[in-house]
Every structure is written in C-alpha cells, then in structure tokens.
Structure 1
Amino acid sequence: MAKINKDLKDLVLARIEAYSDDVGLIIGTDKHYSKSELVDNVKNETELGRQIIDIQLEYLQDMIRGNIYTALDQ
C-alpha cells in the first residue's frame, strides 16, 4: 500500500483536531468512532484512516470547485 503524503495527512489531522471533543463518526449502524480514534486511525494509516483522508480530500476539492456551495443552493 502506498504511503500517504505527509502534508495531506497533517492537514486532515489538523481538521480533526479542530473538532469539538464530543464529535465522532458513525459508520453503518453499529460503530461509533471518537475523535481520538479518528486521529489514531489517520496517524496509523489504517483502512479507516485512509477512508477518512479520502473523504476529507474530496470535501476540500469540492469546496475549491464550488460544488459545496452549488449543492447548498439547491
């Protein structure tokens, strides 16, 4: 598996660290991940961590392209 770009990983970690401590992520109907679990998964580049990075990257790219604002206007 390819190593994740350090700058991208640091950016995602900074975004997660900015979350409130009570923010987490629910995947499916069963598993809730706390903020610290999200950070650990990104730092360790687990499968979940890679998915979080991909989601954050896609979100940021959509913001740059203006897609976020277009979706909100609908």
Structure 2
Amino acid sequence: MTREEAVKLAESKWYETQTAEEIVAFQLYEERLCMPFPLFHKAVEEALGRPVYTHEFAGVENLRQEFEAMRKGN
C-alpha cells in the first residue's frame, strides 16, 4: 500500500465499523498505519486481552505470532 492509499483509507475511518479483532487482523499485517495509533493500540490490547506496551510494536512479529495463536485458541 502506498502512503497516499494509507492516508485515504485512514480518512475513510474504516476502523469505526470493525471489531478489535478485525482491526488487528488487518492493521497488524499492513506496514503503513491506516488509522490513529491510539485506536490501533487499544484494539491490539483488546484483541490480545492484555496490556501491550508501546515498545512491543517494534517487534511486530512477536505480536503477530501471539495474535495468530490467540485466534487458533492456543
């Protein structure tokens, strides 16, 4: 996704009609942020069921693995 596409998507406020899990399923795998970070952060915490510290986003692969395990019920 280009920067312009990400900005356009964010401006559409697509995330307002999505559940936390739906937001995370999309945004956690998209390199460019397509929504306000505080809302994404909150969605990740809700989806994972735990506090997520800001520095954890630097290791996004760990968050992805945790999210995938949670979705599989592990």
Is the shorter-chain TM-score for this pair beyond 0.5, marking a shared fold? no
Greater relative contact order (Cα < 8 A, sep 6+): 2
Bigger share in helix: 2
TM superposition score normalised by structure 2: 0.29
Bigger share in strand: 1
Larger CA Rg, structure 1 vs 2: 1
TM superposition score normalised by structure 1: 0.29
